[in-house]
Chain A
Amino acid sequence: MPEAEIDEAPAASSEPQSPEAEARRQADIRDRRLVRRLRAGDQRAFDELVRLYQHRIFGLTLRMLGNRQEAEDVAQEVFITLHRAIGQYRGEGRFYTWLYRIATNTCKNRIKYLRGRNFHRSVPVEETPEAHDPGHDGPSVPLQARIAGPEAMTEGARLQAAIQQELAQLDPEHRLLIILRDIQGLSYQEILNITGLQEGTLKSRLHRARVALKERLAPYLS
């Protein structure tokens, strides 16, 4: 597809849009410009794309793999694939759903590889030193805010660890849907674009994933 087509911004409708929709439109325009520059060989455009999407992609790989080192390595691989395969991006759909597709495929491949090697050395996400360092893991922990008292930090961290541990026990396809929808808050349409599922299949599979996780988290739900 010629670059000109990728450069086309989604048409702005004459109807007033919600602030979220307008923000998404602006983000799409920005992404398309960066992609065009990257295809022209502009390294700074690539750095900018990494800066924009590093947290979301790392969040996805970390929740999928449950191990910081593996997650970082896979997330780096995702961006290297982006750099190498940007010529294959045909400008259909939003750029970041394409990036997410690369990330989900890379995660699935790594999970298969690690299973083949009987990988059991995973360091639970919340037990790593980085997980307790606000400089690494961002702002305060909402789960901790749910538990009152001086033991909030410990209890909150324990609850997070339990959720991550139970999440890791789910089938990777189910885990992916929970992460995309319930943790990262993507819309159905975005998930359909990323996974290539039919809408009915997505809903029923998401339901099964939620039921499975609910049963695993039952002791924490009462």
Chain B
Amino acid sequence: MPATQDTSAERMTAYLDAELPADEAAEFEEQLALDPEARSEVEMLRKMMSLVSSLPEVEAPPDFAEKVSRRVRRRQAFTEANWGLVSLPFQVLSIVVILVVAALYMMAQLEQRPTGKMEREAIPGTHEAGKMPSSGPAPVEP
């Protein structure tokens, strides 16, 4: 909707809702007097608003408040009583995860231990790092 139409729509709405300041309302009425189409539009809108506003007020069912109260109590009871049950799987899962992590860590430690031992045992037999230890008796020089 173009800006001018928007402004006109806003003014018409405010006029119908008696929200226009007195001077603007008077100005709008002057415009209406010169524009039969706009006047007819305002009249029809006024009729429609009158029709809609005369719809009966609706009342909630008589047991509405009781039903709401019951649903709230049920929800509270569920939250309190079943919190343990709801959280139990998560607690079990947490313990399982911790145990699995611990087991993997221990296995990794056990796998590393023999290699480390061999390396430590190999060190005293060698004089220079990177040199393979000789096997058998040393050659006799002539």
Q: Are B17 and A58 in contact (CB under 8 A)?
A: no
Q: Which residues B1-33 have CB closer than 8 A to chain A?
A: 1, 6, 9-10, 12-14, 16-17, 19
Contact A143 B56 (CB under 8 A): yes
Is B52 a contact of A182 with CB atoms below 8 Å? yes
Q: Compute how far the CA of A146 lies from the CA of B48 in the bound complex, rounded to whole angstroms.
A: 14
Interface residues of B in 86-105 (CB under 8 A from A): none
Query: Do residues A204 and B52 form an inter-chain contact, with CB atoms below 8 A?
Result: no
Q: Is the pair A138, B64 in contact by a Cβ cutoff of 8 Å?
A: no
- Of the A-B pairs whose beta carbons lie under 8 Å apart in the complex, a sample of 18, sorted by A's number, is A46-B69, A76-B67, A79-B72, A137-B58, A137-B59, A139-B56, A140-B56, A142-B54, A142-B56, A146-B54, A160-B56, A163-B55, A167-B52, A178-B52, A183-B52, A204-B6, A207-B13, A217-B51
Q: Nearest-CB distance from B134 to chain A (Å)? A: 80
Within the complex, which residue of A142, A160, A208 is in contact with B9, where a contact is CB–CB below 8 Å? A208
**Set of chain B residues within 8 Å of A211, measured between Cβ atoms:** 45
Asked if A136 is at the interface of the complex by the 8 Å CB criterion, the answer is: yes
B49 within 8 A of partner (CB): yes
Q: Quick one: which of B37-84 are within 8 Å of A by CB?
A: 44-45, 47-49, 51-62, 64-65, 67-69, 71-72, 75
Pick the contact of A59 from B17, B58, B62, B75 — CB < 8 Å? Answer: B58
With A136-B62, A204-B1 known as contacts, the answer to whether A210 contacts B49 (CB < 8 A) is yes
Interchain CB contact under 8 A, A206 and B68: no
Is A75 part of the binding interface, using a Cβ–Cβ cutoff of 8 Å?
Answer: yes
Q: How large is the interface on B (under 10, 10 to 19, 20 to 34, 35 or more residues)?
A: 35 or more
B47: contacting residue among A136, A181, A221, CB under 8 A: A221
Given contacts A59-B57, A220-B51, A221-B44, whether A200 and B10 have CB atoms under 8 Å apart is yes
User: Which one of A83, A139, A207 contacts B10 once the chains associate, using CB atoms below 8 Å?
Assistant: A207
Q: A residues engaging B (CB < 8 A)?
A: 43, 46-47, 50-51, 54-55, 57-59, 62-63, 72, 75-76, 79-80, 83-84, 125, 130, 135-143, 146, 159-160, 163-164, 167, 178, 181-183, 185, 188, 200, 203-204, 206-208, 210-211, 213-214, 217-218, 220-221
CB–CB A76/B64 < 8 A: yes
Give the docked Cα–Cα distance between A9 and B69 (Å): 28
Q: Once the chains are docked, how many angstroms separate the CA of A181 from the CA of B9?
A: 16
Residues on A with C-beta less than 8 A from B12 are 207
Q: How many Å from the CB of B44 to the closest CB on chain A?
A: 5
Which of B48, B54, B75 contacts A221, CB < 8 Å? B48
Please name all residues of chain B whose beta carbon is closer than 8 Å to the beta carbon of A140 when the two chains form the complex. 56
With A164-B55, A203-B9 already in contact, 19 other A-B pairs whose C-beta atoms are closer than 8 Å:
A46-B69, A57-B60, A59-B59, A80-B68, A138-B56, A140-B56, A159-B51, A163-B51, A167-B52, A183-B53, A188-B17, A204-B1, A204-B9, A206-B13, A207-B10, A211-B45, A217-B51, A218-B44, A221-B51
Closest to A84 in B: B75
- Closest Cβ of chain B to A128, distance in Å, is 11
A139 vs B67: C-alpha distance when bound (angstroms) = 23
Per the bound structure, the CA–CA distance linking A206 and B45 in Å amounts to 11
